[in-house]
Chain A
Amino acid sequence: MKYLIVFIAVITFFSCNGSRQSVEETQSVDASELSSMQLLNIDGSLINWQEVKGKAVFLNFWATWCGPCVKEMPYIEAAARALKEENIVFLLATEESTEKIKSFEQKFGYQLDLVRQKTSLASLDITAIPTTYIYNTKGKRVFAETSARKWDTDENIKLLKELMKKP
């Protein structure tokens, strides 16, 4: 009995620290995260997740003032081009205004879907950008990373293909 109670106390104490999310995790996150995320197209319409159901989603969080984010874009664009026949959607979300997104789009002309996020970065436990979340075809998050990557390398294209299929 004595050991049981001490054990419970110890477990209770350590549970106070909560579970800190790794920024380079690979374990799956529940599918409701993506479906409850509110993203707006440039025209102000909400992205309907039903329309991308069954597809993997590459979701990159960025901002116009974030140099590394902007630096990463050509690599994302190239990766999207390389995977255009695959079952994956590329979205790049920012908390900034639609006007800023439009202005950025006109200036740089990337062939990417730049969208505005209504769901805050904080509520997604994102503490820095660029952060990329990848959801598999069932809508489960299977990848999260905070840092820019050269997404179009052979190694990363292979990684993306593997992640799409990851259960």
Chain B
Amino acid sequence: MFKVLIFPLLIGVVSCVSGDSGLATTIPSPAAINSEEPYLLTTPQGNTYLSWIERNDTLGILRYAQYRNGQWTKPVSITNGSNWFINWADYPMMAVNKTDMIAHTLTKSGQDTYAYDISLFHSEDGKDWRSAGLLNEDGLQAEHGFVTMLPYKDGFLLSWLDGRNTVSMMDSILTDHAHHKAMTLRAAILTSSGKKMEEWELDNRVCDCCQTSGALTANGPVIVYRNRSEKEVRDISIVRYESGTWTKPSVIFNDLWLISGCPVNGPRADAKENVLAVAWFTAAKGNASVKVAFSKNSGKSFTPPVIISDASPLGRVDVLLIDQRSALVSWMEGSEIRVMKVTVEGISGTSVFVAQSSGARASGFPQMTRYKDRVLFAWTDEEQKKVQLAALDMNDLM
């Protein structure tokens, strides 16, 4: 009888234990010392890439490598410059469509802290890279960044935060009229060589310090981002591109995070056919948490979000749909990078420890992607000042 009674106690104790057994294995990094800001991606064809920045004194170098047969190829330099805006949260990205590749850096456009442009680069073979001009063509010394890049049809779809309306932000800050000049969300379709074909403003008032993200659903691309209401509520919104037009922004879930500040914690999205997963961080009502919500109709509606974090999440999420039934969500829990499997029905698995990082901002945003039956993670090791990598077998995540 006692054994029966003790069962609930054991369940209670065991449920406290996260998967800290160290299932992840480190894998050699192609990045050198003084590297940072990793970005991982895997194409629909299953090719996996890592890009990162290396610093040599004042010179920044954007490099990438491909993961083939369990090894990184020799790093390729995409571009370099000494006038870059290098920020722990606003990292360069690349996208691949068949043989065409594009990448971006942030290039200072003036003396002001907030003055930088999005410079694009294109390559037809992955070796020779050339400038594809500026993504933002407003010609204003303003903030432009937090890019999302997706392969789309024969070219690419990009979204970004565009501060063209904030060019006199510092003046407005001092005169308290900043609410008239908010950050905007814009998007553009580019050809395979990076030439802009069409451009839109998707939202004229968004959070000015959070990453954007996007995914390709069966119904078309979607962009997710942190919005900003007149009352300074900053939750996650979505816009969808369907039949040649963008939908109006709609909130994925009303966390009602009221904050007149910089969360620096954008959402991430991934899609397979009509299933879309969006993960995000919120600290609404003082409760810090990482959430994931699913849509089975390409983002038109979402299931109620599932909270997956523990007591001390910092956010910095990534999400990866394994198939149309479940997703992986990675996030920072204190100084640890953790990952959890969640089904579209909202059943969460075990929180698995991936790596010890650092809560310091220099550790950046951990990245996650799929390589065959493994999941790769990349982050910046703040102490060693180097991009590090780890891998987990998909089967180890339950």
Binding site for B on A (CB under 8 A): 1-2, 5-6, 8-13, 15-25, 63-71, 74, 95, 104, 120-123, 125, 127-131, 146-148
B281 contacts A127, C-beta separation under 8 Å? yes
Contacts of A74 in B (CB 8 A): 174
Across the interface, do A66 and B286 meet the contact criterion of CB distance under 8 Å?
no
Q: Which residues of A contact B313 (CB under 8 A)?
A: 127
Considering the chains assembled together, what is the distance between the CA atoms of A16 and B13 in angstroms?
9
Whether A21 and B261, one on each chain, are in contact in the complex, defined by CB atoms closer than 8 angstroms, is no
| Interchain nearest-CB distance for B338 vs A (Å) | 14
Q: Are B12 and A9 in contact (CB under 8 A)?
A: yes
A12 touches B16 (CB 8 A): yes
* A18 to B312 alpha-carbon distance, docked (Å): 8
Q: Which of A12, A19, A22, A69 is close to B261, meaning CB atoms less than 8 Å apart?
A: A69
Asked if B170 is an interface residue, CB under 8 A from chain A, the answer is: yes
Give the distance in Å from the alpha carbon of A21 to the alpha carbon of B283 in the complex.
Answer: 10
Bound together, the chains give a CA A11 to CA B8 distance in angstroms of 11
A15 to B362 alpha-carbon distance, docked (Å): 32
B335 to A, closest residue via Cβ: A122
| Inter-chain contact total with CB atoms closer than 8 Å | 129
- Check: B168 CB closer than 8 A to any chain A CB: no
Judged by a CB distance under 8 angstroms, whether B151 is at the interface is: no
Chain B residues with CB below 8 A from A10, complex form? 8, 12
Contact between B262 and A66, CB atoms less than 8 A apart = yes
Q: Which residues of B contact A146 (CB under 8 A)?
A: 259, 261, 283
Report chain A residues within 8 Å CB of B335.
122
Inter-chain contact A71/B176, CB cutoff 8 Å: yes
* Nearest CB on B from A116, distance (A): 13
Sample (27) of A-B pairs whose CB atoms are under 8 Å apart = A1-B5, A9-B11, A9-B12, A10-B8, A11-B12, A13-B16, A16-B15, A16-B16, A16-B310, A18-B312, A63-B262, A65-B209, A67-B178, A67-B209, A95-B360, A95-B362, A120-B358, A122-B332, A125-B312, A127-B314, A128-B259, A128-B261, A129-B264, A130-B262, A131-B261, A147-B260, A147-B261
By a CB distance below 8 angstroms, the chain A residues around B12 are 8-13
Within 8 Å CB of B10, what residues of A? 9
A146 CA / B232 CA spacing, docked (Å): 12
Q: List, in ascending order, chain A residues with CB within 8 A of B264's CB.
A: 128-129
Assess whether B23 is interfacial by the CB under 8 Å rule: no
Nearest-CB distance from B362 to chain A (Å)? 8
**Residues B359 and A120 in contact, CB atoms below 8 Å apart:** yes
Q: Which residues in chain B, 257-276, are within 8 Å of chain A measured between CB atoms?
A: 258-265
Q: How far is the CA of A151 from the CA of B11 in the complex (A)?
A: 49
Not counting A5-B6, A12-B12, a sample of 6 additional A-B residue pairs whose C-beta atoms are within 8 angstroms of each other reads A21-B286, A67-B178, A67-B262, A123-B359, A128-B261, A146-B261
Q: Which of A13, A25, A121 interacts with B11 by CB under 8 Å? A: A13
Does B113 sit within 8 A of A, measured CB to CB?
Answer: yes
Given the interface pairs A8-B9, A95-B360, A127-B314, the reply to whether A22 lies near B15 with Cβ below 8 Å is no
| Contact, CB under 8 Å: A25 / B258 | no
How distant is A66 from chain B, measured CB to nearest CB, in Å?
4
Given A69-B262, A122-B359, CB of A18 within 8 Å of CB of B13:
no
Give the contacts of B208-237 with A (CB-CB under 8 A). Answer: 208-209, 232
- B62 CB within 8 Å of chain A: no
Minimum distance in angstroms from A96 CB to a CB of chain B: 9
Does B126 sit at the interface, judged by CB under 8 A? Answer: no
Beyond A20-B311, A121-B359, whether A67 also contacts B258 by CB under 8 A is no
